[in-house]
Amino acid sequence: MIIGFLGAGQMAQTLAPVWLRAGHRVLLANSRGPASLADLVATLGPAASAVTPPELAGADVVVLATRWDQLPKALAGVGPLTGKVVVDATNNFVDDKLVDIGPRGSSEVVAELVPGARLVKAFNHLLIRRLGTLHDHAEPLALYLAGDDPAAKAVVAGLIRDLGGVPVDTGRLVEGARRWAAGGVLSGHDHPLTGTEAEALLAGHG
């Protein structure tokens, strides 16, 4: 599978090496152009490439891995992603401060920026550094996902397994993502949940 990253910061640099080891190809794009990613690509190896944002349309999956305040401009540079599996890995935080987006959830805002995309919310509830070490846990940790397209969610679930996590489907995009947002049934725990613990909590809350 070809996985494209819009943004080449900590999120991309954490996930890309694990997915490369699992046999995927990786495309990386940022606002500064492919030349700025030469050293990173060389470190990642021959299955990684630096591309321009519009070239991400050639990926099977596009992961949104930019800062929240950069997302609208970054997506405008990519162009239409109609029919593409797009993973929203963002949170509406800037410099550790919550950005007020009114009554909508962050996934609703992102969905408006990628009309026609098969959007899945994932990879945004654990510290980024944990996402690269999931294989180290004796009992795999849960990684939540939510979306309205079952086939797109199945693709993302496979990528979660490649990371060493357990995919836990929390439902449709808007309602499902809110189950692990602040105040949701899966939020507020003082340790990351294993797959078993997460499934038990969801079962207990319908």
CATH of residue 188's domain is 3.40.50.720
- State how many domains the chain has: 1
What is the structure's pLDDT at 136? 86
57-104: pLDDT as tens digits: 999 999 999 999 999 999 999 999 999 999 999 887 777 777 777 777
> Pairing between strand 118-122 and 142-147?
antiparallel
106 burial via Cβ count (<10 Å: 0-12, 13-18, 19+): buried
Residue closest to 32 by CA, chosen among 53, 10, 14? 53
Helix (H) or strand (E) holding 90: none
* pLDDT at residue 182 greater than cutoff 70: no
Give 10-46 pLDDT, tens digit per residue: 999 999 999 999 999 999 999 999 999 999 999 999 9
| Residue 110 · residue 90 · CB < 8 Å | yes
DSSP annotation string for 91-147 = -SEETTEEPP-TTS-HHHHHHHHSTT-EEEEES-SS-HHHHT-GGG-SSPBEEEEEE
Q: Is 139 a residue whose pLDDT tops 60?
A: yes
Please, what sign has the CA dihedral across residues 27, 61, 23, 158? positive
Does residue 125 register a pLDDT over 90? no
Mean pLDDT over the full length of the chain: 90
pLDDT of residue 124 exceeding 70: yes
Give 150 or 100, the one with higher predicted confidence: 150
Residue 190 has a pLDDT of 57
4, β-bridge pairs: 27, 62
Domain that holds residue 175: 2-204
What SS3 class is residue 14?
Answer: helix
**Can you tell me the distance from the alpha carbon of 177 to that of 192, in angstroms, rounded to the nearest whole number?**
16
pLDDT at 85: 98
Inter-residue contact 52 to 28 (CB < 8 Å): no
